[in-house]
Copies of this chain bind each other. A is one copy, B any other.
Amino acid sequence: MKEKLKIGLLGLGTVGSGVPTILQEHQEKISQVTGMEIIISKALVRDEAEKRRLAEKFDIQLTTNIEDIINDDEIKIIVELIGKVEPAKTFITKALENGKHIVTANKDLLAQHGSELVALAQKNHCDLYYEASVAGGIPILRTIANSLAADNIQKVLGIVNGTTNYMLTQMVSEKKSYDQALKEAQDLGFAESDPTNDVDGIDAAYKMVILSQFAFGMNIRLDQVDTRGIRGLSLDDVEMAAQLGYEVKLIGSSENQNGSIAVEVGPMLVAKSHPIASVRNEFNAVFIESSGVGESMYYGPGAGAKPTATSVVSDLITIAKNIRLGTTGHMFNAYQHDTKLAEDETISGKYYFSIEVPDRHGQILKLTQIMTEADVSFDQLVQQKSDGTRARIVAITHMITKHQMKQVTKKIESTDEFELLNTFKVLED
């Protein structure tokens, strides 16, 4: 008989119920690798009656009282899958204070209170793992912490929100409108009834906070991520991007420029030849540029019960091994660095501007003057779609600073009869 390792589970929803399923399905392999039998002994639920059948199937004791789990001395690890900040934060805090190791998939919590919880775990010699919090089934955090430990990362960029990537794929390939695509994502269960966190880029921003911590050892706040979503994105822009050789993707990016980082989330134009451009539907991908490895990319499902539960169980296996070897209490990511944010003057990129102008001579000249004043030159310039009174000009600049981009944006917005429809950052291969 192998030693039993008892787990308490907070939340027995879609992902939660995936955890005992995965543990049961791969029991033999898991016990071979860890030398232990991992068992979910108790689960915290809101309504015991509702989860009774599931509990019987996996022989899990249900409770509606967190104390039953936190004060159970036999339980060594607590898996938190409730989501959102509270009461998850209170539960995890108490559990760590009681010496329980923690596995969580809670990106909201980690992005906003990560350093506090990491410090508390350290103080109590507990493990705290959260691989599933970023890009669901892709083992990106462990890869950065272990395999890229010998490397110097310059840039992490990714498609880290499956809902919006699904919507954008539908808009590009099926010519669906933003509203149609959103409705379909909701019908398929990818988007919640209130899609704010997804479409406004907040969910992606949470993940970029966590990725920046791993890639650069820096703790940034959510309000330090320059965040834009895809709300109201027009099919016109998506089609124009395709004509120019780009896909529109909601990209999270975190870049190191001489020791300072710039973190942003927003719709970007990605060159079709870039490996990340072909990531479709609900899939996620994280692309890394580093001085040692060069370019690498990690691709997989961004969400879903099974991939997320698999990721949670891989964290459980890691802790099980640590318990066995007596090596718990080390940080998931040991790399720490002073946090420094880059100034707009040092962040550079190519930018796409889409501007509605009067359909009269001299408009391109007027735009060119604005650009020239800010020392910005064009890479591509297209005038198209006139209804006789209004026309549209689309411009892609050469590399400029974010400061220049803001200057130009301000100038265009204050120019009589010019209407700035959209600005996107442009990622080349």
Seen from chain A, the residues whose Cβ lies within 8 Å of a Cβ on chain B are 22, 25-26, 29-30, 32-33, 131, 137-139, 142-143, 146-152, 275, 278-279, 283, 290-301, 304, 306-307, 309-311, 313-314, 316-318, 325, 327, 334-336
Contacts and interface: CB of A to CB of B under 8 A. Distances in A.
A43 B293 CA distance: 23
Nearest to A131: B147
A335 B294 contact: no
A117 B165 CA distance: 46
Contacts of A296: 137-138, 298-301
How many identical subunits does the complex contain? Answer: 2
Given A278-B278, A299-B299, A30 B294 contact: no
Contacts of A295: 283, 299-301
Given A139-B148, A142-B146, A300-B297, A25 B291 contact: yes
B298 A298 contact: yes
A138 B139 CA distance: 13
Contacts of A29: 149, 152, 335
Contacts of A309: 292
B278 A293 contact: no
A301 B293 contact: yes
List the 7 closest pairs (A to B, CB-CB), nearest first: A139-B147, A292-B310, A296-B300, A150-B313, A137-B293, A297-B299, A150-B314
A149 B33 CA distance: 8
Contacts of A22: 150-151, 292
Nearest to A429: B280
A339 to B, nearest CB: 15
A390 to B, nearest CB: 38
A293 B297 contact: no
Given A275-B279, A283-B295, 20 more contacts: A22-B151, A22-B292, A26-B152, A26-B292, A29-B149, A32-B334, A32-B336, A138-B296, A139-B143, A139-B147, A142-B143, A147-B311, A147-B314, A148-B310, A150-B313, A150-B314, A295-B301, A296-B298, A296-B299, A298-B298
Contacts of A33: 149, 334-335
A245 B273 CA distance: 17
A298 B288 CA distance: 11
B299 A294 contact: no
B300 A293 contact: yes
A292 B25 CA distance: 10
Contact of A150 (B142, B151, B310, B335): B310
26 contacts: A22-B292, A26-B292, A33-B335, A137-B293, A139-B143, A139-B146, A139-B148, A146-B318, A147-B311, A149-B317, A150-B311, A150-B317, A151-B310, A275-B279, A290-B310, A292-B306, A292-B309, A293-B301, A293-B310, A293-B311, A294-B301, A294-B307, A296-B300, A296-B301, A297-B297, A327-B327
A314 B278 contact: no
A335 B146 contact: no
Contacts of A139: 143, 146-148
Nearest to A327: B325
Contacts of A30: 149-150
A314 B146 contact: yes
Given A275-B278, A278-B275, A294 B148 contact: no
Max count, chain B CB within 10 A of own CB: residue among A22, A26, A147, A297: A147
A367 B238 CA distance: 47
